[in-house]
Structure 1
Amino acid sequence: MKLFLGSILIIVAGFSVNKYVFSSKAYDGVSTVTDIISVYPVNMFDFKKTMEDYAHHLCYKNEATLNTQHITVTECLSQHENKKLECEKKVFRLAPLNLESEVEVLDYSRQYTQCTLPYKYILG
């Protein structure tokens, strides 16, 4: 019983630290993914990792909007995890190894976000 309660406490603490320490600080003041990326060309492998982190940021940043749609942040994160591989294959299957411009980055970012987080009015 103690092990079970301890495990629950550790999981809750991990989510809290992720939400309030890592996710919010890494993307403070970020309104689009191009605010994060400053050097071009962008390696596709680095871009995929950035998009994964950015999707988590969008779930946390838009908590109030999600709540109006009766969706929790946890459900948003679960949706992303469930759709991540499928959407990577769909969106990035014909992508170049390096994204050369801001226009390309924004286009792939929009496609990936819409695929993995299909909620209305999520800003970012």
Structure 2
Amino acid sequence: MKLIFGSVLIVVAGFSVNKYVFSSKAYDGVTAVTDVVANYPVDLFEFKKTMHGYAHHLCYKNEARLTSQNVTTSECITNHDKKQNECEGKVFRLAPLSLETKAEILDYSKQYTECTLPYKHILG
């Protein structure tokens, strides 16, 4: 019984830490994805990982706006995760292996965010 209770407690603690520490705090104060990227050129594979985390950040940060559209934060994240592979194929299929400029990064991040998070007025 103690083993089951301990396991449940660890799972709940892990979920809470992920939600309240890593997902939302990693991007505090970020207004655009270019604030996250420090050095140019940006490797496309690293950029995709960054966009995954940034999309989750947008879901958490815009919780009130999503609620007004009858969408929960977890639904937003689930929708992103379902559409991630499809949207990466659409958005990044002709992208260079390294993004050289801030304009390129903003363009690709906007396309990716609009594809994976099709909600109105979600702000970074």
CA-CA distance at 1:19 after TM superposition: 1.6
Q: CA deviation at 1:26?
A: 1.0
Q: 2: distance between equivalents of 1:10 and 1:110?
A: 37
Matching of residue 94 in structure 1 with residue 97 in structure 2: no
Over residues 36-72 of structure 1, what are the superposed CA-to-partner deviations in whole Å (9 max), with x where a residue is unaligned?
A: 0121000000000000000000000001110111100
What are structure 2's unaligned runs of at least 5 residues? none
Q: Which runs of 5+ in 1 are unaligned?
A: none
Partner of 1:52: 52
| Cα pair distance change 1:68/1:2, threshold 3 Å | farther
Partner of 1:22: 22
Q: Percent identity?
A: 69
Out of 75-84 and 17-26, give the one that drifted further.
17-26
For residues 78 and 7 of structure 1, the distance between their equivalents in structure 2, rounded to whole angstroms, comes to 24
Q: What is the CA distance between 1:21 and its match in structure 2?
A: 0.7
Who is 1:64 aligned against? 64
Offset at 1:16? 1.8
Amino acid paired to 1:22: F
TM-score scaled to structure 2, two decimals? 0.91
Deviation at 1:89, TM superposition (A): 0.3
Partner secondary structure for residue 30 of structure 1: coil
How many residue pairs get matched?
Answer: 124
1:84 positional shift: 0.2
**Which deviates the most, 20-29 or 70-79?**
20-29
